[in-house]
Chains A and B, each alone.
Chain A
Amino acid sequence: MGDAIASSGTSGGFARGRRVASLAGAAPGDRVYRVVITAFALMIPALLLLIAVAIGVAAWPALSAAGLSFITSSEWNVQAGKFGAAPAIYGTLVSSFIALVLATPLALGVAIFLSEIAPKWLRQPVAFLVDLLAAIPSVVYGLWGIFFLVPMLRDHVVPFFRDTLHLGNTPLFSGPAYGPSMLAAGVILAIMALPYISAVTREVLIAVPRSQRDAALALGATKWEMIWDAVIPYARSGIIGGVILGLGRALGETMAVTMVIGNRPEISASLLAPGYTMASLIANEFTEATSDLHLSALMAVGAVLFVITLIVNGMARWLVWRVASGPKS
């Protein structure tokens, strides 16, 4: 998107032509520069490959011993040597999903407010405060979760859903509410993912050309119609990118989730039941894992998390590509 805006200037084509010419001229400094930069760029995929290979090799003994049951079984019993990571996989996906459902509308609202509606003097301070959310260490979120969020959810939010909205009999809100739960994990992840989504979305919205807005207004659109029909569609692929960045944060977050999710390897339909995530499982058990199979099983959890993040990221790329190449409304 940034490229498109930059090259729309009149001098863009000329500058590009000159750059190509100077490379062909092959001054020694340019050649060295190109080699160094290429090497740097290739280091990232190489690193990715190294990580994948290292985790894959370490995970192989557990994966080959457990087979498919590694991702379908719910029994995680170190003493018996049985490793089924299904509850952790489920917990990672569900807690991240809750986080996105809660954080995306909020973050969009924040970004739209800051880029389109807020008075100029208010934009910088509010943007700064929202960005600051991303700078808080996750263990601090965890402490806040234990001492504020979890009791607050248990004593006020859950009774509201159960008694006031009469949702107590639905599976989502059934069972005892101890506090530490999938819901608490989802809420804390939403707060942690929010600044990432809103920061990216805000930048993307600001980058939408002025002419896009002017054209919509000139056609008689209200401010709302201008934002919803002209600005948001233009920025759609960038917004999806921001949401995926937030999802990445949620999938991999360890400490804060471990502190509020209850760490119980069980799959339950209820949002109020405790759960487990893959990152928590690894962080919890790695330091004291002595048997080879146990270590390998934890590596296998890491490998599954790795694959899931790759799949999610691949799907996101596909989504962005579909959106970007599809007809603009």
Chain B
Amino acid sequence: MSSRILALVSILALACGDSRPAGDASPATRSGSVDLTGAGATFPYPLYSKWFSDYAAATNVRINYQSIGSGGGIRQLSEGTVDFGATDGPMTDDELAKAKGGAIMHFPTVLGAVAIAYNLPELSGELRLSGPVIAQIFLGAIKKWNDPRIAAHNPGVTLPARDVLVIHRSDGSGTTYVFSDYLTAISPEWAGGPGRGKDVAWPTGLGGKGNEGVAGQIKQIPGAIGYVELAYANQNDLPVASVLNVAGQFVAPSIEAVTAAAAGVAAQLPANTDYRISIVNSPGAGAYPISSFTWLLLYRQQADSVKARKLVDFLRWALTEGEKQAAALDYAPLPPAIADKLLQRLDSIQATSAGG
């Protein structure tokens, strides 16, 4: 008798238990010691957590950050339950319009890139790919590794007749956003099909959860190709492809090549940009084309002047001292030209009341 009741309860628990985000607990539970709370992107979390702990040691200002994903960060900031958000893909106009606290500003903090990782036991040297070829592979149009379209970029390399197997992210992810943003920019067929987003209707392939899920499947299946964060590829020594950029160079993903991509875009930035900008397919020399900013989000009009000052002070520190730590953790720092402009932009943050 009791086993069936137990069954009912456990079925319900299993059915419902996993649909909640892990970070739903109120950030204010330890408000006695926490000065600022934030939530959002998981991609920059390793760097942000180092920033927050270093900043707390230097200034005694404590920041609690929950890496619950960009979507959760945007939702929580829009509801006003956190002081700042963080996202890997810029907020859409619709999302900005729904924010309860007024205008939200995007501040790029560091850069990330998406590396094309593959498993070809036969290949020891460099694999070169162009945007259109990558798009054809992920659209399912290129089915064999010795396809002439791949071979054209790899003269002198003997490519095996293996089947191509696409591995993509199954979970919603900023990495997918950046990668699909690139494919959308470079391939009309992709733009008219799956398009750009954190979750994409993939025409082919298998889904892996997280960078580790994608990398794990690539390692297990000869002939597989997929995309992972640059930092993840670096730390795990995955073979990655060099990608043709606008300047006509095949560039392997690296921190320098990513910063170069941002520098290439920085030169063309209009004075009044809101920094919701894509830097994929950057025109800069030596630029790696599948690169992106990651952003902190805050309200232009701050309700609490004490918190506003703490936020601005922290961002000033992050954009100067913080940037120096980025490369050690495999994040590309902002080009100085952009960091300088952002420091000036901090002055436009206002506080409405003298709170406390």
Interface residues, chain A, with chain B CB atoms under 8 Å away: 1-3, 44, 48, 51, 55, 75-80, 146-147, 150-151, 176, 178-180, 200, 204, 238, 241-242, 244-245, 247-249, 251-255, 258-259, 262-264, 274, 279-280, 282-291, 294, 298-299, 302, 305-306, 309, 312-313, 316-317, 320
Q: Does B38 contact A (CB under 8 A)?
A: no
Q: Does B268 contact A (CB under 8 A)?
A: no
Q: Does B239 contact A (CB under 8 A)?
A: no
**CB-CB contacts below 8 Å: B179-201 with A:** 194-201
A141 CB to nearest B CB, Å = 14
**CB-CB contacts below 8 Å: B12-54 with A:** 12-19, 21, 42
Task: Evaluate contact between B16 and A302: CB separation under 8 angstroms.
Answer: yes
Residues in A with CB closer than 8 Å to B21 are 286-287
Task: Evaluate contact between B9 and A44: CB separation under 8 angstroms.
Answer: yes
Give 21 pairs: A residue, B residue, CB < 8 Å, sorted on A: A48-B12, A78-B197, A79-B200, A150-B220, A249-B10, A249-B14, A252-B14, A258-B213, A259-B209, A263-B170, A274-B207, A280-B170, A282-B19, A283-B171, A287-B21, A287-B69, A287-B171, A289-B199, A290-B95, A305-B15, A306-B12
For the complex of A and B, list the 4 residue pairs with the smallest distance between their C-beta atoms, beginning with the closest.
A252-B14, A288-B172, A263-B207, A287-B69
Residues in A with CB closer than 8 Å to B206 are 178, 180, 262-264, 274
Q: Is the interface of A mostly helix, strand, loop or mixed?
A: helix
- B50-72 to A contact mask, C-beta < 8 Å, 1/0: 00000000000000000011111
A280 CB to nearest B CB, Å = 7
For the complex, give the distance between the alpha carbons of A216 and B171 in Å: 57
Task: Evaluate contact between B200 and A288: CB separation under 8 angstroms.
Answer: no
Residues in B with CB closer than 8 Å to A302 are 15-16, 19
Residues in B with CB closer than 8 Å to A259 are 208-209, 213
Residues in B with CB closer than 8 Å to A48 are 12
Q: Does B163 contact A (CB under 8 A)?
A: yes
Give the contacting residue for A286; candidates B11, B19, B207; CB below 8 A.
B19
Residue of B nearest to A301 (CB): B19
Task: Evaluate contact between A51 and B11: CB separation under 8 angstroms.
Answer: no
Given contacts A79-B201, A286-B19, A288-B198, contact A176 B68 (CB under 8 A): no
Which interface residue of B10, B42, B163 has the most chain A CB atoms within 10 A?
B10
Give the contacting residue for A284; candidates B2, B8, B172, B220; CB below 8 A.
B172
Residues in A with CB closer than 8 Å to B174 are 288
